[in-house]
Chains A and B, each alone.
Chain A
Amino acid sequence: MYMIKRVKEFGTQALIASKEIRDYVEKFESEINRGISTLCILAIINGAENGEIHGYAILKNLEVETNEMLVIEEGTLYPLLRKLESNGILKSERKIVENRMRKVYSITERGDKIFNHISGFYGKLTEAISPLLDINVRLKDNYLYCPNCANKIDLKEKENDFCDMCGLNIQELRERRL
C-alpha cells in the first residue's frame, strides 16, 4: 500500500536508511492511503460492468487504473469490503462468474449517494490544495459540485432540484451550467 515500502534497496546516505524517517514516511503514506483506497475501491465497484464485481477483479482493476501506484495488501481488501457492507454502503451475493462461484459486490442506493459525496469532497479538496503543492488539478465539466457540501452531481442524470446530501436547492446552478 505504501510507496516507500516497495523501495528495497537504497544507499547508506539515503534518508530512508534512517529507521525513524522510514517509519515516519510509511506511517504518513499509510494515513493518506487509507481513505483514498476506500474511495478508489468504491469507484471501481461503481464503474464495474452491471455494477457488480468480485474481490479479485477489484484488485486487478485497482492496479491497472492506478498504474500500480495504489497497490493494497490483498488480504486487507476483504475486511474493508466487509466493513463497507456492514455500513450499508455495499451489498453482496454469491453467484457464478467466469464459471466459478464467487462473492460479488455492488453499491447500494445509499452507498451510491455517499460515494458521490465523498468523491465530490475529495475532488474539490484536491483542487483546492493543488496550488499549495504546485500541481495542476482540473475537475471535469460534466459534474456540478454542491456549493454547500461538495456533493458531486452528474449533470447528465435526471433532473433533481435538490442536492441529495444536504438538500440545497441547486435548480438555478444546474440551469446556469446547462
Chain B
Amino acid sequence: MSQKNMNDMVKDYLKNIKEKLPEWLKEKKNEFKDVLNEIEEHIWDKAEGLSDSGAPTETSVRLALTHMGTPESIAKEYKRRGTPKVYITEELWPLYTRVLGILSAVVIVVYVVFMIISIVTGNFQLDFVGILLGLTGVFTIVTLVFVGLSMEGYLPEDLKTQEERKKEELNTFINPTGMIVGAIIQMAFGLILIIQPNTDFTHLIEPEFLALLRIFGALVITEGCLNLIRGVIGNQQITKHQIIMGIKIFLSIMTIPLLVVLMERPELVPFVTFEKHLISWFFGFIIIMVIIGAISDAYKAITLEKYRNLN
C-alpha cells in the first residue's frame, strides 16, 4: 500500500476526531492543533512499533488506529471535565445561578417598568401571565444552555473572551487611553447636543424635542467627565471606580423619563415616517436596554472587588 493511502487513513481518522471534539477546544486554535498533532505523532509511532520492518504498513497503521480507540471515545474524554452536579457541573453552577438571577431580575424590572408606564398612561391592568411566562422562559432556556455546556465539558474560563483573559492576566480592568479618548468624543458629542449649532437644521425640529436633546446632551457630557476621571485614575483605587460607576448608573436611569416622554409623544420625533406605535415600541425597547445596561454596570462595579487585592 502506498504512503498516500496510509496518510489518507490517518487523515480520515483525524478528521473524524476533529468533528467530534468539543467546541471549547476548537475555539482554542493552538491547543486544538496541538491535540491533533500529538495524536497523529502517536499513531505513526505506534504503527512503526507494530510493524516488523520498523516502517509503517497498511496493517500496522490500521491496528494503530484501533489501539487509539474510536474518535467518539477520545472526544468523550475531552468532554469529561467538571464535577457532575444535577446535570450542570459544579464548576458552572455559580455562573448558572448568577445568569439565572440576573436575567430573572431583568424580567422583573422590565415588568415593573411597564407597570409604572401603564399606570402613568392610565392603561393599568394587573396581569401576572407575562412575568410568569418570562421567568419560566428564562429558567428553561438558561438551564438547557448550561446542561448543554456541562455535557460538552465547558468550564467557566472557556466562556471568557480573549480580551477578558488578557485583562485577567495583566490584572487590568480598564484601558485608560481608550477610556480617555472615548470620554473626549463623548463630551464633544454632548456639547453638540447642547449647543445645537446648525440652525438651518434645528428649526425643522420641535422645540420640545430640542429641549430633550439638550438635557440628554448634559447627561452625556457628565458621563464623559466621569469616564475621563476613570481613565485618569487608571487601574487602581477600586472604591473611586465603584463610586463613579454608581453615579453613571444613576445618570443612565435619569434618561428613562426622557425616553418615556418620547414613548408617550412619538409625534415629537422628527424625520421619521413610521407608525407612531412603532416609534413608541422603539423607545420602550431602548428603556429596556438602558435597564439591562444599568444592571450590567452594577454587576461590573461589584466584580471590580476581585482586583482590589491585586492592585
Q: Give which listed residue, B41, B70, B80, contacts A56 with CB less than 8 A.
A: B41
The answer to whether B39 touches A75 (Cβ under 8 A) is yes
Q: When the two chains form their complex, are residues A74 and B49 in contact, meaning their CB atoms are under 8 A apart? A: no
Interface residues of B, dominant DSSP: helix
* CB-based contact B78/A103 at 8 Å: no
Contact across chains for B81 and A73 when beta carbons are under 8 A apart: no
A150 and B60 alpha carbons, distance in the complex (Å):
45
Q: How far is the CA of A55 from the CA of B68 in the complex (A)?
A: 12
Are A78 and B41 touching (Cβ within 8 A)?
A: no
Q: How far is the CB of A33 from chain B (nearest CB, A)?
A: 13
Measured in the bound complex, the distance between the Cα atoms of B46 and A60 in whole Å is 9
**Which chain B positions have C-beta within 8 A of A76?**
69, 73-74, 77
When distances are taken between beta carbons in the complex, the residues of chain B under 8 Å from A82 are: 31, 35, 78
Contact partners of A100 in chain B: CB under 8 A: 41
Most B CB within 10 A of own CB, among A55, A74, A103: A74
List, in ascending order, chain B residues with CB within 8 A of A55's CB. 38, 41-42
- Contact call A74/B73, Cβ cutoff below 8 A: no
* Interface-central residue, B45, B46, B73, by most chain A CB under 10 Å: B45
**Contacts A55-B42, A60-B49; A75 near B68 (Cβ below 8 A):** yes
Cβ-based interface call for B308 (8 A): no
A80 contacts chain B at the CB level, 8 A cutoff: yes
Known: A60-B49, A82-B35, A103-B34. A74 touches B77 (CB 8 A): no
Residue interface bits A49-89, CB-to-B below 8 A is 1, else 0: 00000111000100000000000011110111011000000
Which residues of chain B in 5-41 are interfacial with respect to chain A, using CB atoms and an 8 Å cutoff?
A: 17, 31, 34-35, 37-39, 41
A124: Cβ under 8 A from any B Cβ: no
Task: Give residues of chain B (28-86) contacting chain A, Cβ–Cβ below 8 Å.
Answer: 31, 34-35, 37-39, 41-42, 45-46, 49, 67-71, 73-74, 77-78, 80-81
Given A74-B67, A74-B68, A103-B34, A79-B77 contact (CB < 8 Å): yes
**Contact in complex: A102, B80 (CB < 8 Å):** no
Q: Once the chains are docked, how many angstroms separate the CA of A56 from the CA of B46?
A: 7
Task: Assess the B46–A73 pair: CB atoms within 8 A.
Answer: no
Given A60-B49, A82-B35, A103-B34, do A74 and B78 touch, yes or no (CB 8 Å)? no
A34-50 CB contact bits vs B (8 Å, 1 = yes)?
A: 00000000000000000
Smallest CB-CB separation from A60: which chain B residue? B49
Contact residue among B17, B38, B46 (Cβ-Cβ distance under 8 Å from A103): B38
Count chain B residues whose beta carbon lies closer than 8 angstroms to a beta carbon of A.
23
| Whole-angstrom CA separation of A56 from B49 in the bound complex | 10
User: What separation, in Å, do the CA atoms of A75 and B70 have in the docked complex?
Assistant: 8
Given A78-B35, A79-B80, A103-B34: A73 touches B42 (CB 8 Å cut-off): no
In the complex the two chains form, is B67's CB within 8 Å of A80's CB? no
Contact B49 A75 (CB under 8 A): no
Assess the A75–B38 pair: CB atoms within 8 A: no
Question: How near does chain A come to B207, taking the closest CB pair, in angstroms?
Answer: 63
**Shortest CB distance A32–B (Å):** 17
Bound Cα distance A75, B71 (Å): 8
Q: How far is the CB of A31 from chain B (nearest CB, A)?
A: 13
Residues of A close to B34: CB separation below 8 A: 103
**CB-defined contacts of B42 to chain A, threshold 8 Å:** 55-56, 74, 78
- How many whole Å from B155's CB to the nearest CB in chain A? 9
Interface centre among A54, A79, A83 (most CB of B within 10 A): A79
- Report whether A73 and B35 are in contact in the complex, using a CB–CB cutoff of 8 Å: no
Measured in the bound complex, the distance between the Cα atoms of B38 and A82 in whole Å is 11
Given A55-B38, A55-B42, A56-B45, also A75-B81 (CB < 8 A) = no
Which residues of the partner chain A approach B38 to less than 8 Å between Cβ atoms? 55, 78, 103
| A residues apposed to B, CB below 8 Å | 54-56, 60, 73-76, 78-80, 82-83, 100, 102-103
26 pairs, A vs B, C-beta closer than 8 Å: A55-B41, A55-B42, A56-B41, A56-B45, A56-B46, A74-B42, A74-B46, A75-B17, A75-B71, A76-B69, A76-B73, A76-B77, A78-B38, A78-B39, A78-B42, A78-B74, A79-B74, A79-B77, A79-B80, A80-B77, A82-B35, A83-B81, A102-B41, A103-B34, A103-B38, A103-B41
Given contacts A73-B69, A79-B77, 4 further A-B contacts (CB under 8 A): A75-B74, A76-B73, A82-B31, A102-B41
